[in-house]
């Protein structure tokens, strides 16, 4: 008997693949819809000044923006190291370091929690 008794046959396997494709298509549509709806929902007018961060802004910052900043910092550091010979030849090592490493580090570690605008 063994584990092969639980393995689906050809018909069941094809049905399972069809179901997984449908679920993947639905998940893709949901992710795309949320991606396009999120920026307008999070938009703040340019005249607005946020002095005191709300709990919602702090949660958004802690759960999504800080990890994204950390990913940007690691990715920027890798790109900076890879581009260092070319930046040195061009004489803009400081500018490359500021944009690829220092700015993401400030955004991730120095910015107050929940203060999203202005950084």
Q: How confident is the model at residue 92 (pLDDT cuts 50, 70, 90)?
A: very high
Residues 83-105 have a mean pLDDT of 93
Per the CB < 8 A criterion, the answer to whether 97 and 38 are in contact is no
Task: Give the closest residue to 41 by CA, choosing from 24, 27, 60, 25.
Answer: 60
What pTM did the predictor assign?
0.54
CA angle 60, 61, 67 (to 5 degrees): 110
Q: How confident is the model at residue 8 (pLDDT cuts 50, 70, 90)?
A: low
Least confident of 15-19, 21-25, 102-106: 15-19
Q: How confident is the model at residue 55 (pLDDT cuts 50, 70, 90)?
A: confident
Per the CB < 8 A criterion, the answer to whether 70 and 105 are in contact is no
Asked if pLDDT for residue 103 goes beyond 80, the answer is yes
């Amino acid at each position: 008997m063994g584990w092969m008794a639980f393995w689906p046959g050809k018909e069941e396997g094809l049905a399972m693949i069809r179901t997984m494709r449908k679920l993947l298509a639905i998940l893709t549509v949901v992710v795309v819809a949320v991606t396009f709806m999120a920026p307008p929902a999070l938009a703040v007018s340019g005249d607005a000044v946020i002095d005191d961060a709300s709990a919602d802004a702090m949660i958004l910052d802690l759960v999504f923006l800080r990890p994204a900043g950390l990913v940007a910092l690691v990715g920027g550091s890798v790109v900076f190291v890879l581009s260092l010979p070319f930046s040195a030849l061009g004489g803009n090592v400081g500018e490359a370091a500021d944009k690829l490493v220092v700015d993401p580090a400030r955004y991730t570690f120095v910015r107050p929690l929940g203060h999203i605008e202005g950084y």
